[in-house]
């Protein structure tokens, strides 16, 4: 049984206009997204800004109520629940199982609280006695490789990378079953990014973490994810095991995202644009394939007929009319 099964998730925002504020259209921020996360698996959700990744993660956390679709969550030794339709009141006891790592380690820690109190706050809220909280705090500091003395200091005493470790310790405090990490390293320097990715790898090994890892490009997700789902204008356009996706992408948008990954060799050309043009407006998505105005391989059919996701021989799914005939460039 998968830990999480998202099925045909939709989140539309109404657009109101005129004197009577009539609904004149809808922003289809998430428009029929399906994926699963197995226990112990990390799935990366990748796409440029505005593709709907944050909306998907906020629906899973029920910070947003989906327009339609199902989000089945099956905690260990528990019954499956549909987070999409669960009354918010009943969400409360489940919150401990799903925790979040935030993008900005500067904004997400209360500057007036000591690190020890920040990390143990979720334990306190859940009624864990003080002695147990102290013991768990020491375990958590060790897990995220922070010295025990950090507990009596304030966030401003730490660097961005150290603050992200504190945020991770707090997210782990209640032994969550699913971590939603929304761009957890994009605010950090490249050298520090690698340290945090290594920490997440270590935690995957030690704790068997299950994770949804949201990122706007493919530069950081390769080592940390088992599978990658690529989103474009509210839909998943390709999902595949990580290695297959990097070596042999099947969707032109994935190829474009790979081409934009900075080369490890500094003498090579610097980061390129993802693809010509801008991400389409989800309030007025182009007809046919939403990527066709930016795609170098567009043919007539792409302008009129929307491609459905179809299984590939490498165990993935892709929605492109030309997926079978194109030989797209991957990376080694
Ligand atoms: N409350 C809202 N009302 C109307 N449109 C919204 C609202 N929230 C988000 N959107 C639109 O929905 C689309 C998807 O937004 P979302 O934040 O999920 O994308 P994203 O891929 O996570 O981007 P980012 O990386 O910038 O957060 C965007 O076009 C955005 O403008």
Instruction: Quote the CA–CA distance of 318 and 309 in Å, as a whole number.
Output: 5
Distance 116 CA to ligand 1 centre (A): 34
Banded model confidence at residue 164, pLDDT cuts 50, 70, 90: very high
Does the pLDDT of residue 309 top 80, yes or no? yes
Q: How many Å lie between the centroid of ligand 1 and the Cα of residue 143?
A: 34
Determine whether the shortest distance from the Cβ of 154 to ligand 1 is under 6 A: no
Q: Give residue 263's pLDDT.
A: 66
* The predicted structure's pLDDT at residue 157: 94
Q: Is the pTM of this model over 0.90?
A: yes
Q: Would the CB of 47 count as within 6 Å of ligand 1?
A: yes
Q: What is the pLDDT of residue 267?
A: 56
Which residue's C-alpha comes closest to atom 28 of ligand 1? 50
Residue 113 Cα to ligand 1 middle (Å): 31
Q: Cβ(54) to ligand 1 under 6 A?
A: yes
Q: Is 29 in the pocket of ligand 1 (CB under 6 A)?
A: yes
Number of Cβ within 10 Å of residue 315's Cβ equals: 11
Distance in Å, CA 312 to ligand 1 centroid: 29
Ligand 1 centroid vs 259 CA: distance in angstroms?
24
- Work out the pLDDT band at 273, boundaries 50, 70, 90: low
Contact 106, 160 (CB under 8 A): yes
Q: What is the ipTM of this complex?
A: 0.95
Q: How many other C-beta atoms can be found within 10 angstroms of the C-beta atom of residue 137?
A: 21
pLDDT in tens, 143-157: 999 999 999 999 999
Is the pLDDT higher at 76 or at 179? 179
Question: Ligand 1: which residue has its CA nearest to atom 31?
Answer: 50
Query: Which pLDDT belongs to residue 174?
Result: 94
Rg over alpha carbons for the chain, rounded to the nearest Å, is 21
Mean pLDDT value of segment 189-206: 93
| 54 closest CA partner among 122, 114, 102 | 102
The verdict on the CB of residue 53 being under 6 Å from ligand 1 is: yes
11 Cβ contact partners less than 8 Å away, ≥ 6 residues apart: 29, 30, 52, 55, 56, 59, 64, 66, 67
Confidence check: pLDDT of 234 > 80:
yes
Q: Which of 95-104, 170-179, 280-289 has the highest mean pLDDT?
A: 170-179
Taking residues 228-233, report their average pLDDT: 97
Q: Provide φ and ψ at 178, rounded to 5°.
A: -135, 135
- What pLDDT does residue 203 have? 94
Separation CA 326–CA 53 (nearest Å): 27
CB atoms under 10 Å from CB of 308, counted, come to 9
pLDDT at residue 107 tops 70: yes
User: What is the model's pLDDT at position 89?
Assistant: 84
Ligand 1 pocket mutation, candidates 30, 33, 52, criterion most atoms within 8 A of CB: 52
């Amino acid at each position: 049984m998968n830990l999480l099964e998202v099925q045909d998730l939709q989140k539309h925002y109404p657009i109101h206009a005129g004197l009577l504020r009539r609904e004149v259209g809808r922003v289809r921020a998430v428009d029929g997204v399906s994926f699963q996360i197995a226990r112990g698996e990390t799935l990366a959700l990748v796409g440029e800004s505005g593709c709907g990744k944050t909306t998907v993660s906020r629906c899973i956390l029920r910070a947003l109520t989906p327009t339609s679709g199902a989000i089945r969550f099956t905690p260990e030794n528990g019954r499956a629940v549909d987070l999409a339709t669960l009354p918010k009141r009943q969400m409360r006891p489940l919150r401990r199982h799903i925790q979040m790592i935030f993008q900005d380690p500067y904004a997400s820690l209360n500057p007036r609280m000591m690190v020890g109190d920040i990390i143990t706050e979720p334990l306190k809220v859940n009624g864990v006695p003080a002695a147990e909280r102290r013991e768990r705090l020491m375990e958590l500091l060790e897990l995220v490789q922070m010295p025990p003395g950090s507990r009596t200091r304030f966030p401003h005493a730490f660097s961005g990378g150290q603050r992200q470790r504190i945020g991770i310790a707090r997210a782990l405090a209640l032994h969550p079953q699913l971590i939603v990490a929304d761009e957890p390293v994009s605010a950090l320097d490249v050298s520090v990014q690698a340290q945090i990715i290594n920490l997440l790898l270590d935690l995957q090994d030690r704790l068997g973490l299950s994770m949804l890892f949201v990122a706007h490009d493919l530069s950081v997700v390769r080592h940390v994810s088992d599978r990658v789902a690529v989103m474009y204008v509210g839909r998943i356009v390709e999902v595949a095991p990580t290695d297959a996706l990097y070596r042999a992408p099947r969707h032109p948008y994935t190829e474009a995202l790979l081409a934009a990954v900075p080369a490890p060799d500094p003498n090579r050309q610097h980061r390129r644009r993802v693809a010509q043009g801008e991400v389409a407006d989800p309030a007025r998505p182009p007809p046919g394939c939403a990527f066709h105005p930016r795609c170098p391989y567009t043919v007539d059919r792409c302008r009129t007929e929307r491609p459905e996701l179809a299984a590939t021989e490498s165990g993935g799914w892709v929605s492109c009319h030309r997926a079978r005939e194109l030989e797209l460039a991957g990376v080694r």
